Structure 1
Amino acid sequence: MRRKLFGAILALCVGWFQAEAHTAGFIKSPLSQMKLIEDNAELDCEVIGNPIPEVQWWFIEGEDPDEILTQLYDGARDDRVRINATYIDHATSSLMLTNLTLNDTGVYECRASNDPDRNDRWTPPRVKWIRSQANVIVFERATIMTEPNVVSNVTSATLSCNLTNPSSPIKGHFWTRNGVIIKDSQSAKPDAYAEHHIEKVDYHYSGLYTCVFQTEPEANATIEVKVAPHVTAPKHSENANEKDKAVLTCVSHGYPLPTDWFWFKSSEGDDKDPIVNGSDKYEIKNTPNKTTLYVKDLDINQDMGTYHCQGTNDMGSAIDKIELRVRSQLAALWPFLGIVVEVIILITIIFIYEKRRKPDEINDVAKMPFQPDGVLNIALHALCIISPHDLLPVASSASHWIAVDEQLYQVKQESDICCVFQEEQLCDKPQRQKRPAEELQLRAEQRCSYDYC
């Protein structure tokens, strides 16, 4: 019983696999389209199956029973038919119809089959061709009267379009500039007349203006708004090091873009020397909206200066300039040298200040309490003032004691010191009497001495 059940299941699986292996199916069918004369139409078809099915395209004219079927191939209809097909995981095929005419209107059929006998005329196929159809309808192009056809050499302009013989009712209209919809131009009115005003005609508002009438299919016409090119350098000053390569760039805006680019270098006076592309020194690369100049192996004497870029179209030309500065190879050391100079100046200022300042006390004078026999038991000190004028070395082979303001100081041999004392000397012996001390000024010609009691 189990064997019979297993055999039945196996037979069912094999039968399902065989059916699956010989079945083709569409995963993408072609879509119907409405086109205008001279437009292009593309139909796509994708089919799966095992083995991978073959795909064919057919054109059907007329209706049953008088319909005429014609198989299409790549290059048919005066090379206006293009067929591309791939057979990898599944079958993919696309039919392209270019430069449509009214005779291209009709039914296009995508056929697919993976039966081995599908193309045998004498053996009927076990599996029929599967089919998917799409309609392509080609209309006469509507007539749109534009005013003006081209805008140039004006400061403002009004663009207008007048649609005649539309292919279907008008649902509205709008304007585009360079393919982008102008928001305030959209209208849902079924008018056959559209108008757009440009207050200022410059490079900001130049371009291709298209009026679009929402019919089936859409009808449109284009008006050109032309201006002279607007050329500008993103950077008007460039810095580069000697022996390096400088890159100078200019860009252009507006419509139409420049057809020619030129570079110049300022010479003496107002003269400009043209730069030749492809030399050992210069290389120029141009695109419609950009030009780039490469200056190689920079020389600080020859390559520094003003460079001019010029763009030209059929409406005129424009020019801009770039200042090129070339730095010496030692330029990288300049910040370090500047720091060194600043440090040297700072040290010099500090040295001069320390040399010329007048301190309140002389650090070299030693303070000592003095208690000799017979001298008053008083802590003594004195004040020594440094004079910046008439300073001469003081010669002294011995130390001297000076009693000033009830203090005693020992004066040592020093230079550039002038001490002024104007105090009374104190004596403790009875035979000595107190007398005022004379003003003593220490100079080179007079030893720093004191007349003791």
Structure 2
Amino acid sequence: MKILLLSFILLGLYGFCLGAGGGGVSSSTSSGGGSMKETEDTKRLREGRPLILTCEQNATNLETKWTKDGNELVAGDHIQLFPNTTLYISTAQKEDKGEYSCKTGSMTEPKIFHVVELTLQKHLPKSTTVLENDKLSLSCQVQGDPELTVQWLKDGEPVEDTDNSTRLEMSDNEYDVPNAVLSIKPIQKSDSGNYVCLISLYSINVNTTTVVRVKDIYAALWPFLGIVAEVVILCLIIFIYEKRRIKANFDDSDSDPAQDVKNNVDGKKENDIRQRKH
């Protein structure tokens, strides 16, 4: 009986752990988000790797004027300028980021390139679970230079336009990117949905997504109540079993020992008399 009780308690504790796992904020390890793609006029700086900018495709032997942040560039050990209107840096460094422009004799307006630093350190988790009336905090772990733009969407709409706008707050992340951290407190069932961190830097756009699920405030309590009910029922079963066992033992010992001895003696005398008659 004790082993049975222990088994039920262990099963109840296991169920409690599964149910209580929704308390606070939890997230899955998988991540969701879009890829970060360069565009023709916006290039990501990758330190130690080549940087290539081409002013006119399929051009040959054209004189090209290149500038960076308004200063004219000349060919040297670090920068190579080719007649096919290509600027080539074999090993890019941090100081190579900036605004580049080029112009050939056939162009009426210069062509502008932006060389930027942009890194998404970690995607948002695939899903995020939070307990009702708790606080939800989502951090878009992105960094960039120059300053990038972060916008939060819920189910395709800006979070500022949703019904939770009075309870939300946006702040800088650990890389000092404005609006990269979204907080909602207290969170309600209506806040469940698909949240997107949309990152923009010139013509580069990237996003990372998480599905927010809000659990009932009493969700973690039901497994505990189940454990209590199991223990109470088992205690009642043990109590009734022990009570019946004690009563049965008491009934067995309720007969008079002296009377039992007298009956045994009388029975023995009667047997002796019968044997003598025979």
TM-score norm. by structure 1 comes to: 0.30
Q: Name the structure with the higher helix share.
A: 2
Question: Bigger relative contact order, structure 1 or 2, given CA contacts below 8 A and separation 6+?
Answer: 2
The higher radius of gyration belongs to 1
